[in-house]
Amino acid sequence: MSDQPIDPRAIGNLMLDEAARADIAISNLALQKLLYFAHARHLIETRSPLVSGYFEAWQFGPVHPSAYKAFKAAGDQHISFRAVRQNPLTGKSDPLPTPTNTSTIRLVKWVISSYGKLTPGRLVEISHAKGAPWEYVVDQARSKMAFGLRIPDSVILERFKFHKVSVGAVPMSGEPGEDTPFA
């Protein structure tokens, strides 16, 4: 897998491309969970982060703030565009480099084939599993001071194993709309 963390927007673009090949439409809310699952799996397998930056515990599960911002224009609809980066010298938008590492591509394909067809609500339920990183951080914030409800990679490594939930494609609690940070 890659040695250096990758821009999460580039991994998001790769996920969207892979999903399009599999005829799967993905919303920003779903993309955030898929990005989180890929990052966690990479952490567990390599002990190094897949993406740069960090995830936060938002209302509907883990969210990478910079990836969320890049795809926010889609709202709760399916994402039909790709994230770009802004050139600080020219102010123009440039395409993000596509990850080419075969292990990274294989991981993204696995995440899309394993989770891509699940509804956003089902992905939220999986990300909210009891004892898993999101639930742990939110629970800690109830009793301690928390800044931005960040989900540290150390917590992901320690607690991702708790993402054991019942199998099924339909969420028990209905479909959520667009995600928001906790107020």
In a domain, 181, yes or no: no
pLDDT band at 99 (very low <50, low <70, confident <90, very high): very high
Q: How many domains does the chain have?
A: 1
Return the pLDDT at 172.
Answer: 54
pLDDT at residue 141, rounded to an integer: 86
Report the distance separating Cα 90 and Cα 87, nearest Å.
6
Task: Return the pLDDT at 142.
Answer: 81
The verdict on residue 15 lying in a domain is yes
Q: Is residue 72 part of a domain?
A: yes
Residue 88 maps to a domain: yes
Is residue 86, in this structure, part of any structural domain at all?
yes
Residue 75's domain spans which residues?
8-162
The per-residue pLDDT for range 151-183, each reduced to its tens digit, is 999 999 999 887 765 555 555 555 666 666 755
Give the three-class secondary structure for 33: helix
183 inside domain = no
Question: DSSP 3-state assignment of 173?
Answer: coil
Percent share of the chain, pLDDT over 70: 86
Is the confidence at residue 25, as pLDDT, over 90? Answer: yes
Cα 152 to Cα 33, 77, 110, 114: the distances in Å are 16, 29, 23, 24
pLDDT digits (tens, 9 = 90+) for 45-85: 999 999 999 999 999 999 999 999 999 999 999 999 999 99
* Cα gap 32→61, rounded to integer Å: 8
Q: Render pLDDT for 106-155 as a digit per residue (tens, 0 to 9).
A: 999 999 999 999 999 999 999 999 999 999 999 888 877 656 699 999 99
Decide if pLDDT at 30 tops 80: yes
On whether residue 172 sits in a domain, the answer given is no
Q: What's the pTM value of the predicted model, to 2 decimals?
A: 0.87
Q: Which of 7, 40, 176, 9 shows the shortest CA–CA distance to 110?
A: 40
- Is residue 175 assigned to a domain? no
How high is the pLDDT of residue 78? Answer: 97
- Average pLDDT for 7-15: 98
Helix residue ranges per DSSP H, the chain: 8-21, 28-46, 65-71, 102-115, 120-127, 133-143, 153-159
